A and B are shown apart, each in its own frame.
Chain A
């Protein structure tokens, strides 16, 4: 009986967790327009401030491999895709030199800037590089895997999982 009521409680809480994910998706927690809104009427968003979390598709070739040749910073551009449902492509202008040198195709960057050209272009006020390249992604996923194994290992060192009752039981001798 206790097992049944606990099972029901867990099922209810899993539903609540699902409800949180639905509630979060329905709530608009950003003051900036998202790609879903922009895609509906791109022209009306010109001049508006956006914060985009994008994946770098290409970097202005003139500035690749640290050989920054252009003098006008407005020419420092990268092309990113951002958002989902739909994913949109933007040309990011005025990317700071320090960012343009470090990013490669596939990098993950944040762009805070103003939309232009019927929402095909963003003139960047600020760019933050989250993941410069494949090595950054491998580091974060690799160290997260390690951290997860440490957490699981530590837990199982002190607790036993009773598979029949689906319960955590302390190992008495530790």
Chain B
């Protein structure tokens, strides 16, 4: 896992930039996408209630790591989406949460692993456990990852501000979403 500052700023950049071509993707939906970008790390619930404790209590094998995957992203996004009030909001909420969750998995892909392969056996669950080579760009504690994420987010933020005045007039006249 990269730390959450990196995930949050990469997601901000991704969804803000996506909003330039998707009409309804405004700041409130960017905020939803950013929440999505930390959903896969719900497997860190392991730190509160450990896998072993649950297995011992229930007698069933259990690993929170199952959530840090494509399957986990879909299910957690669906739960989150149901908490929005209208159907249209639910659909958009699902799309943004899921995209955020997938962005998390993609950002985590190029991490360094001692056998030289990606951790896709985890991330692809419940799809087949295929593991291509990893470029090994970083480990969780590398500080420069957050620096890059913040720099990318800053560039997108500035571009976004620069373009906003031109479309703001149009947005103000659009019926509220």
Contacts and interface: CB of A to CB of B under 8 A. Distances in A.
Interface of A: 6, 9-10, 13-14, 16-18, 20-27, 29-30, 32, 51, 84-85, 110-112, 125-132, 136-137, 139-140, 143-148, 150-152, 154-155, 157-159, 162, 165-170, 172, 174
Interface string B117-147: 0000110011001000000000111010010
A171 B76 CA distance: 24
18 contacts: A24-B125, A26-B61, A29-B122, A29-B129, A30-B129, A51-B114, A85-B52, A129-B139, A131-B140, A139-B141, A143-B5, A147-B7, A147-B8, A147-B38, A154-B34, A158-B28, A168-B89, A169-B85
Nearest to B129: A29
A130 B34 contact: no
A148 B38 contact: yes
A111 B114 contact: yes
B141 A131 contact: yes
A170 B28 contact: yes
B85 A24 contact: no
Contacts of A155: 31-32, 34-35
A127 B65 CA distance: 23
Q: Which 9 A-B pairs have the closest CB atoms?
A: A147-B4, A24-B66, A158-B28, A112-B114, A25-B61, A136-B141, A110-B114, A21-B66, A144-B4
A112 B113 CA distance: 9
A29 B121 contact: yes
B99 interface: no
Nearest to B100: A151
Contacts, number: 165
Contacts of B7: 147
B76 A17 contact: yes
A9 B82 contact: yes
Given A143-B146, A168-B85, 4 more contacts: A21-B64, A130-B139, A148-B38, A158-B28
B143 A168 contact: no
A16 B140 contact: no
A139 B83 contact: no
B69 interface: yes
Given A20-B75, A144-B5, A151-B4, A128 B125 contact: no
A159 to B, nearest CB: 7
Contact of B4 (A111, A146, A154): A146
Contacts of A144: 3-5, 41
A143 B3 contact: yes
A43 B113 CA distance: 26
A40 to B, nearest CB: 16
A23 B79 CA distance: 19
Contacts of B41: 144
A25 B62 contact: yes
A39 B51 CA distance: 19
Given A17-B72, A51-B114, A144-B5, A139 B143 contact: yes
